[in-house]
Amino acid sequence: MDKFVVQGGMKLKGTVQASGAKNASLALMPATLLASGEYKLHNTPILRDVATMSRLLETMGLKISRDDHTLTIDSSTITSFEAPYEHVKKMRASIYVLGPLVGRFGQADVSLPGGCAWGPRPVNLHIEGLRKLGAEIELEGGYIRARAKRLRGARIVFDVSSVGATGNVMMAAVLAQGTTVIDNAAMEPEIAALGQFLKSMGARIDGVGTNHLEIEGVDALHPAECVTIPDRIETGTLLIAAALVGDKNSSVRIERCTPSHLSAVTTKLEDVGATLTIGKDFIEIVPPESIRPINITTSIYSGFPTDMQAQWIALMSLAQGMSIITETIYSDRFMHVPELIRLGCNITVKDNIATVVGVNRLTGAKVMSTDLRASASLILAGLAAEGTTEVLRVYHLDRGYEQIEKKLASLGAEIERATGEEF
Ligand code: EPZ
């Protein structure tokens, strides 16, 4: 398995481009099940999770090819309505095939996703939403077995705002008979991107980007092309790297991003003392003289994203004082904390609250990745630590960051990938 070897102490400056959004691609790709034909998804990031989704769709008969960052998907032949455990256990987002399969074919057998590093990841909202649309759903042998004649529009209110459940129900409803209303729908930009893509395929959806969606079912859709939105979490992660170890006499500029998708993060970085210049498709950051301790509470969009919580803790670990990080989306998403403590961070966690007391220095160590965003926080801390940090099992990072080591190295970081050893 690969590891990253990070030499701390380097100062970052220069320009880097953001890649396409992982969590948009993982929703757009299964949407191609909704109509036969050829689709082109531009600016699709080169990631393990995208490869996993490609392999799943190929087992269902779709033909997928990649030319640089353009994915061509031909869904003319669909030979299976099943998402087997082997795929779903690798990536929870595999469940996104459920909605389109039930919506178009009235049939789906999708393995229940396991938990993940930080706890259970239920799918009750997905199931309840599809049942309201008229699907018969049995949970049997670790699978969600769904059957339906033709789905019928319904009024659905999600008890909890759920990105995945909103995506699945939206993809099921676009071919249902009649109107579906979804309240408390997720508003994340990746779900808005899915809604726009479905509309470009002929779907009738009002309220895209809001938490109130009205979907008028149609009899058929058609293939389309789209340009995947930039990855707001990758952009935020690179911004925090710059705030932590940027050259104070220079700046880091992130291009091809969508600043409005991470205004909660940029605002908090300004509170920390960084100076940001925000353009239409770029953000330039000058690091703070010293890092002010700033509390955050994760929230649904457009609040502070839970996927930036681990990275924020890394930043606060070198702040001039104490800060409180409250995680409201997941219970127990703090697997990164014990590893950060090994680098010298002073963090205590009680219930869903992490208290971080800033320290003057971190020291490099061997640390273990546990999940995607936790790994990113370890890299960030390693950049700021004195000496060498080895981040093990970076396959977690490869799931959601396209060549992050090359992007950081292009800004001046000393980070390299080592392969081969069993860590
Ligand atoms: C998406 O996961 C993202 N993944 C996650 O990003 C992100 O952390 C999450 O949304 C929240 O923003 C993708 O888009 C592929 P949810 P998802 O359903 O859809 C509870 C990353 O790092 N819930 O919005 O699985 C759930 O337990 C990943 O890129 C139910 O109770 O998240 C959680 O507490 C990690 N029942 C909350 O809702 C359900 O049926 C939000 O989960 C579904 C969810």
Encode the chain (423 residues) as per-residue pLDDT tens digits. 899 999 999 999 999 999 999 999 999 999 999 999 999 999 999 999 999 999 999 999 999 999 999 999 999 999 999 999 988 999 999 999 999 999 999 999 999 986 666 666 789 999 999 999 999 999 999 999 999 999 999 999 999 999 999 999 999 999 999 999 999 999 999 999 999 999 999 999 999 999 999 999 999 999 999 999 999 999 999 999 999 999 999 999 999 999 999 999 999 999 999 999 999 999 999 999 999 999 999 999 999 999 999 999 999 999 999 999 999 999 889 999 999 999 999 999 999 999 999 999 999 999 999 899 999 999 999 999 999 999 999 999 999 999 999 999 999 999 999 985 665
Q: pLDDT at position 113, please?
A: 85
Q: pLDDT at position 419, please?
A: 80
Which amino acid residue places its CA nearest to atom 19 of ligand 1? 164
Q: pLDDT at position 115, please?
A: 62
Q: pLDDT at position 378, please?
A: 98
373 CB near ligand 1 (under 6 Å): yes
> Ligand 1 centroid vs 415 CA: distance in angstroms?
30
164 CB near ligand 1 (under 6 Å): yes
> Ligand 1 centroid vs 118 CA: distance in angstroms?
12
115 CB near ligand 1 (under 6 Å): no
1 CB near ligand 1 (under 6 Å): no
Best residue for ligand 1 mutational test, from 116, 161, 211, 329 (most atoms within 8 Å of Cβ): 329
307 CB near ligand 1 (under 6 Å): yes
User: Is 365 within 8 Å of 348 (Cβ atoms)?
Assistant: no
Best residue for ligand 1 mutational test, from 87, 121, 131, 157 (most atoms within 8 Å of Cβ): 121
Q: pLDDT at position 422, please?
A: 61
Q: pLDDT at position 1, please?
A: 82
> Ligand 1 centroid vs 163 CA: distance in angstroms?
6
Which amino acid residue places its CA nearest to atom 17 of ligand 1? 164
Q: pLDDT at position 421, please?
A: 62
116 is a catalytic site residue: yes
Best residue for ligand 1 mutational test, from 23, 87, 132 (most atoms within 8 Å of Cβ): 23
333 CB near ligand 1 (under 6 Å): no
122 CB near ligand 1 (under 6 Å): yes
Q: pLDDT at position 332, please?
A: 85
Which amino acid residue places its CA nearest to atom 9 of ligand 1? 163
> Ligand 1 centroid vs 93 CA: distance in angstroms?
9
Measured from the CA of 49, which atom of ligand 1 is nearest?
A: 15
